[in-house]
Structure 1
Amino acid sequence: MIILNLQQHPPLSSPPAATTPSRVIAFTTPHNYAGRLSHLIQLKGWAPLWCPTLTVEPTPQTISSIQHYLLSPNPPLHHFSAVAFTSRTGITAFAEALAGITIPPLAADGEIFTISALGKDSELLDEFFIVKLCENPGRIRVLIPPIATPSGLVEAMRLGQGKKVLCPVPLVIGLEEPPVVPKLLADLARRGWVPVRVNAYETRWLSGVAELVKMMEEECGVDAIVFTSTGEVEGLLKSLGEVGLNWEMVRQMCPRMVAAAHGPVTAAGAEKLGVGIDVVSSRFDSFDGVVDALEYKWKFSEG
């Protein structure tokens, strides 16, 4: 297995002193990311408030859709040169599909096969995953783009020259599909790839922001809200609408609350939905970036 990690990881900041006043940080990430982000918030001495606005998970139907490309005797994956993952859930869904088959879909012989993943998501592309995919791990190249965005992934994959790339992406239900996936497919096509979309998991709206609204109404007991995807923003707006609120009203209730986005893609999507973003992480291969960005903003404003 060849691993091309094109990222450079700066050292993580040290935990805050015990005297740091506690802040309440709301975040809307789905459950599969919640534990990691909550832990990073706690390391800063802050109090996490999890307010999920989406559910993100594979289903029997989506797993079956992936397995269509993996099943013997003639797995269609033979005709592909790459798989491009843009989310952690896409990788876990693909791994679940692989676990349900007995014969690796890729033969030991053949050209290098590229698997690309963003930032810390690449940690899931371990030896077990590779062996289930191909009898010969040396045939597999794991590509980690230096910029952990779909556009960065496309750039790192270079020119496709007519080769096929499988793209395990979400099927969005109950919300408008963000432009991220359509743009990814279009960008790959412009770079000479033949992208093939497979719905690897479902993203659904999750109603319920009662705890968040309660905290906001109590003299705005929320210091910041963190978004890690455009879908989360749309889900929040839909949930707020259920209780007769909108983002402008939230801003009036909590004028000092900081809205933070995990990377420029999420920030741009939020802005298009009318949600102004105050802090955007410049390092978005992991959630450390957005948490550090919040800390720096408060240090700067208080300094």
Structure 2
Amino acid sequence: MSTGAAHPNGPFHLNSLTSSPSPAIPTHFSPRTAAFTTPPNYAGSLSHLLSLKGFEPLWCPTLTVQPTPLAIKSHLLPPILHSFSAVAFTSRSGITALLDAATEIGEPLLPSHGDTFLIAALGKDSELLDHEFLTTICHNTSRIRVVVPEIATPTGLVEALGVGNHRSVLCPVPRVVGLNEPPVVPNFLRDLEAKGWVPVRVDAYETRWAGPDCARKLVERGKDEKLDAIVFTSTGEVEGLLKSLAHLGLEWDVMKRRWPEMVVAAHGPVTAAGAERLGVKVDLVSSKFDSFNGVVDALHWRWQNLE
């Protein structure tokens, strides 16, 4: 998995997975419309960032996220967590799922004394690992070390955790329903094993396809209603959109022909690679992907310089 080279004059790079250039963007002064396909728990944040940069957000969710508290709670009840040396989160949803389950338990999950316990998270997700969260895990927060990789990818997370030495790491990840599971989580677990960890997968929440009509808002948008960009923040979102288009009797190429100047933007290299694997050419990949600011800034910078 390659992140590609950052553009020397801005916060994005063009897609390194294909050689053709991104489509040109015409100059005009009306607000640019940017569709995005995030599930509800991320929609408010991304919509706000797009609005701040002058875009007109168009939310078309292709996934939903639902908690599965019983599944993760069974791995947290004291003293079960004592046998683990770390928890590794690949998403914000995993963190909130664990916190909700731990709050229900109502007592610290770890004793105050023992070996250092690692809690790892990506980018801005780590902001959720505040004092309240840490004290829910263990009253003695000095026993806990928070690990945040410089590169906000699952691969970066594995590298930041270091050598496992046969220690166990709890991995709260999604159960994918209605779609094929992207290779991100299986690869993450495999990479942990290669580093000497014993990963224990727990389906902390469900990522579900939003249904056969989830792309209808885009399909029913006329040619005269411009669509300047579409932003994907996960591979599952891409597959969810394509599956809905197929149900509605359309293919992705039809959408591209309808809006030939539409820019396809991906939140980081993992999403970009997944989209390309599904046949969706990505025009822009944010080089800063620890938060949604990266992809929004990349779109803004792109058009600002062309105008």
TM-score > 0.5 by shorter chain = yes
1:53-90 superposed Cα distances (whole Å, 9 cap, x missing partner): 000120xxx31121112213xx2210111000000100
Taking the aligned partners of 1:102 and 1:274, their CA distance within structure 2 comes to 47
**What are the residue-to-residue correspondences of 1:1-303 with 2, within 5 Å?**
21-58=30-67, 62-72=68-78, 75-207=79-211, 208-215=214-221, 217-219=222-224, 221-300=226-305, 302=306
CA contact (8 A) 2:223 2:258 kept: no
State the identity %: 61
CA contact (8 A) 2:223 2:259 kept: no
1:20-46 superposed Cα distances (whole Å, 9 cap, x missing partner): 531000000011110110011001111
Taking the aligned partners of 2:270 and 2:193, their CA distance within structure 1 comes to 20
| Structure number with higher relative contact order (C-alpha < 8 Å, ≥ 6 residues apart) | 2
Q: Which residue of 1 aligns with 2:24?
A: none
Q: CA deviation at 1:220?
A: 5.0
Taking the aligned partners of 1:267 and 1:220, their CA distance within structure 2 comes to 26
TM-score (norm 1): 0.89
CA contact (8 A) 1:220 1:254 kept: no
CA contact (8 A) 1:20 1:45 kept: no
TM-score (norm 2): 0.88
Amino acid at match of 2:189: L
Runs of 4+ displaced beyond 4 Å: none
Q: What SS is found at the alignment partner of 2:257? A: helix
Taking the aligned partners of 2:107 and 2:290, their CA distance within structure 1 comes to 33
Amino acid at match of 1:249: V
CA contact (8 A) 2:230 2:262 kept: yes
Amino acid at match of 2:246: G
Instruction: List gaps (5 residues or longer) in structure 1.
Output: 1-12, 14-18
Amino acid at match of 2:168: K
1:192-249 superposed Cα distances (whole Å, 9 cap, x missing partner): 100000000001100222222222x333511000000000000000111111111111
Instruction: List gaps (5 residues or longer) in structure 2.
Output: 1-10, 12-27
Taking the aligned partners of 1:20 and 1:125, their CA distance within structure 2 comes to 42
